[in-house]
A = this chain, B = another copy of it.
């Protein structure tokens, strides 16, 4: 009897290491050929399953699959497409099962964050109801680091390493210029709801790197007076100040700071400019020249400065997902548990998707200093291991040598389905 196939899809914003999870899934499945036939990937995520647009990963040589470990982005395409609740949207869930049935898919590996955990959980429920058994395992991924149960999220450590490195480097630059020119450097980072990435900027400074930092977290309502007093004090003591700003910074009335009244050339409210607005505020109120940077996608695609720890964990969750499924586990996610802090040791444990779906892990208040503008030692201790270790990609002609897969399509068997 031919072994059943597996389906793997990438969901939501991609990361520098989500392909390492794909690699973990595919390489592990290939080691169990008597149990798992082919791994089909969804072209552009779950949309690929809905539209029966499947990629036959068995057409890729082992070398190309191995190269996923050092290639950023989502090799099969991802999507922002959230399936709604089962009752409102039963036809879509049923379509998924229909596609799985048509292609003899008995394993569903969904690589994503909160929303994907929810979808993965619902598919597992429906597959029981429809009497077509599919083992559903979530492969965790999110730069936002806001998944429940797991100690940290694959994808976050590399962003953390990037933003901390970038801020440290920029600080060395600004410090040189501060006497006659730029005194303020602002970097806006991702994380609309949770301040984990903003906190990671705090790693730029440490015992050996005395860098004057102010951080603006989405969890802490913006206090203009307190913030300006801090910046003023740091410029007086150090000659300059570096500011990390979350794109999700909010004012006391709960509105996004970036929405505070600015219109763009077309008359739209200006969004996503919290960093620039903060820089301008400092110039207006304290009179200092500023520079500001918006890392945007650079921070989450910077495979060249990925964290080795993050890379190892990203591969491991892909591998564990397949191993869980082979043990018959369903509706679970490999969660990272911190076994020891010094030396840092971690292991994976299955977490029920019911606990992961629709939960969000915010920064604990004791990770943020009393003035709301820095990280605490407790936060530093949590973050430090996650950026450990380097894992540079191979370079060719002076630039990272990333892989593009062939992404050969699987022949369709079903009528078209409009989404």
Binding site for B on A (CB under 8 A): 10, 13-14, 16, 44, 47, 71-75, 77-81, 161, 164-166, 168-182, 185, 187, 203-204, 206, 208-210, 260-262, 264-266, 268, 273, 276-277, 280, 284, 291-298, 300-305, 307, 309, 384, 387-390, 392, 395-402, 404
Which residues of B sit under 8 angstroms from A180, Cβ to Cβ?
Answer: 44, 47, 79-81
Task: Give the distance to chain B from A160, nearest Cβ to Cβ, in Å.
Answer: 9
Task: Give the distance to chain B from A66, nearest Cβ to Cβ, in Å.
Answer: 17
Cβ-closest chain B residue relative to A388: B398
Task: Give the distance to chain B from A218, nearest Cβ to Cβ, in Å.
Answer: 19
Task: Give the distance to chain B from A243, nearest Cβ to Cβ, in Å.
Answer: 13
Which residues of B sit under 8 angstroms from A277, Cβ to Cβ?
Answer: 265
Which residues of B sit under 8 angstroms from A71, Cβ to Cβ?
Answer: 172
Asked if A291 contacts B297 (CB within 8 A), the reply is yes
CA distance A182 to B293 in the complex (A): 20
CA distance A384 to B399 in the complex (A): 10
Check A301/B400 contact, CB under 8 A, given A73-B175, A179-B44, A260-B265. no
Which residues of B sit under 8 angstroms from A295, Cβ to Cβ?
Answer: 293, 298
Which residues of B sit under 8 angstroms from A10, Cβ to Cβ?
Answer: 176
Among B176, B208, B305, B397, point to the contact of A78 (Cβ < 8 A): B176
Which residues of B sit under 8 angstroms from A187, Cβ to Cβ?
Answer: 298
Asked if A169 contacts B298 (CB within 8 A), the reply is yes
Check A399/B261 contact, CB under 8 A, given A170-B298, A176-B77, A296-B291. no
15 A-B pairs with C-beta separation under 8 A: A78-B176, A79-B180, A80-B181, A165-B304, A165-B399, A166-B302, A168-B399, A170-B301, A209-B402, A264-B280, A265-B277, A387-B397, A387-B398, A390-B395, A390-B398
Which residues of B sit under 8 angstroms from A165, Cβ to Cβ?
Answer: 304, 399-400
Cβ-closest chain B residue relative to A77: B176
Most buried by B among A262, A303, A305, A399: A399
Which residues of B sit under 8 angstroms from A170, Cβ to Cβ?
Answer: 296-298, 301
Which residues of B sit under 8 angstroms from A307, Cβ to Cβ?
Answer: 398
Among B73, B74, B262, point to the contact of A265 (Cβ < 8 A): B262
Task: Give the distance to chain B from A77, nearest Cβ to Cβ, in Å.
Answer: 5
CA distance A392 to B293 in the complex (A): 23
Asked if A390 contacts B392 (CB within 8 A), the reply is yes
Task: Give the distance to chain B from A279, nearest Cβ to Cβ, in Å.
Answer: 10
CA distance A185 to B300 in the complex (A): 14
Asked if B399 contacts A179 (CB within 8 A), the reply is no
Asked if A297 contacts B293 (CB within 8 A), the reply is yes
Asked if B291 contacts A293 (CB within 8 A), the reply is no
Most buried by B among A47, A304, A392: A304
Which residues of B sit under 8 angstroms from A297, Cβ to Cβ?
Answer: 170, 173-174, 182, 185, 291, 293
Task: Give the distance to chain B from A283, nearest Cβ to Cβ, in Å.
Answer: 9
Cβ-closest chain B residue relative to A173: B301
Asked if B302 contacts A292 (CB within 8 A), the reply is no
Asked if A304 contacts B305 (CB within 8 A), the reply is yes
Cβ-closest chain B residue relative to A295: B293
Asked if A266 contacts B284 (CB within 8 A), the reply is yes
Asked if B384 contacts A169 (CB within 8 A), the reply is no
CA distance A402 to B80 in the complex (A): 40
Which residues of B sit under 8 angstroms from A292, Cβ to Cβ?
Answer: 294, 296
Asked if A384 contacts B398 (CB within 8 A), the reply is yes
Asked if B177 contacts A78 (CB within 8 A), the reply is yes
CA distance A16 to B298 in the complex (A): 18
Which residues of B sit under 8 angstroms from A171, Cβ to Cβ?
Answer: 73
CA distance A342 to B49 in the complex (A): 48
